[in-house]
Structure 1
């Protein structure tokens, strides 16, 4: 076990940056920038850091806020729907309910609707239980202002986040039904496993064909999914865990083509977040360590 605080907290720093940015590549850049600033401190300066974790989180937050301004401009020019970069996670991540929820596609898309400072404050307070005075130092606000920001952000997220927890056993059962229906191209089975008001949000980034608007309703979604079994290619639909939740990987002719994060409500799939942008699929060959 290393005694270097940066190494000890690296997965936490990445998790915080990722939740603030929704991009693993940008989160890695922020963590690297944080390391460079930590490495620049000499032994005397490091010895004067009373709480290395808080110090490193503060640097990550400031770097993430700077990066968010750049990302905001980039996302304004994004082709079609924008979704977070998916992370391959172990099923164990789902056991930490708060962590799994905080990195879920459902939560990250809600966080996209917050202002930059609101998002950072929410992540630090609600996910990492960071004291208000530490958050204030990180975001350049007073503790009182941070409390007000946190309250507004909490109410905003609470009004939009999924409210029901689903057991791992139920998730796996629904995914199995879904995969059976997709593999067989069975329209009725698809209608049975999809919620009537299911929504599919697809992110192709302009690189591959994808609907540029959400597709709503089982009667529209089921036929689209049913067509996969009739394609003139070899296709596989494989269960996996993304961002702490159930998901499906789609391979065409042996090549990873897309992944879909699934939201399950009352025994049916109520939302699919499908990512086909090849630039966002690069990290799916190995699990990402997350912590809080």
Structure 2
């Protein structure tokens, strides 16, 4: 006895007839008849076919998790399966957004960016001393110079916005910031060179 494999078109028609008559679910027929439908539906919404296969498997896993009674109540398998696929896509999108997975950088890809001396105690001590020097230099600045520099460099305000706060023009704010940077540079140069 030879069994003839039905073509996809025949399976689709059989599935439509099955849905219309309400005959019970048959795994092979339903799976083969609707896998192409799911692939088309998902491939329009996904970047690559590898993801598509994963989503199709997830759809079938959810369908097979239903008990036989619930499966027998489904009259429109196409609509049901596309709705399940849509829900899975939405869940995946929400998960990716919550985890910021599009911004994820794999550790292995960027190991070369890690400085081996980053946690060297001597380097940490020097960095802390440098920060203390900058803080001391900021403290020695004129109040307006300090305020303008902090507003521009720390808070990111424009020179016009700083000018409004301090009652100055944008050009005056620019001069204040330039003067402050020159003073800080000189202070830091002195702290680096003990002969000063």
More helix by percentage: 2
TM over 0.5: no
Higher relative contact order (CA 8 A, sep 6+): 1
Q: TM-score range by the shorter chain?
A: 0.3 to 0.5
Bigger CA radius of gyration: 2
TM-score by length of 2: 0.35
TM-score by length of 1: 0.24
